[in-house]
């Protein structure tokens, strides 16, 4: 039985690469990571995930990404950078998809 996206709570640590000299988050990398994670937890793969492209890669920085659920409801995923190591960025995803 698939989990409902409305009932899923996401909290995890994931890694995404940086753009250029390591100063900004790659928005497309964060978007793909969110889509894959939501899909693995709920069975629904969002196709319209949007993350900002001007996010500084610094510990403690938070930003929001958005996507549309299968029922047409908008969802927001809060990302918080927990570690920057060279070209890799670790962050926590926090969202109560309801």
Does the structure show a pLDDT above 70 at 9?
no
Q: What is the mean pLDDT of residues 85-98?
A: 73
From the list 37, 73, 79, the residue with the least C-alpha distance to 56 is 79
What share of the chain has pLDDT > 70, as a percent? 73
Sheet holding 24-25, edge to edge: 24-25, 9-19, 88-96, 74-85, 62-68
Q: Where are the domains of the chain?
A: 9-96
Q: How many residues does the chain have?
A: 98
Say what the pTM is. Answer: 0.75
């Amino acid at each position: 039985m698939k989990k409902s996206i409305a009932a899923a709570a996401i909290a995890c640590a994931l890694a995404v690469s940086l753009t250029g000299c390591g100063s900004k988050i790659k928005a497309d990398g964060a978007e793909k990571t969110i889509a894959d994670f939501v899909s693995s937890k709920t069975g629904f793969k969002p196709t319209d995930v949007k993350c900002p492209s001007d996010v500084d890669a610094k510990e403690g920085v938070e930003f929001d990404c958005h996507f549309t659920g299968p029922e047409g409801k908008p969802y927001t995923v809060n990302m918080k950078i927990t570690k920057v190591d060279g070209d890799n960025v670790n962050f926590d995803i926090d969202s109560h998809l309801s």
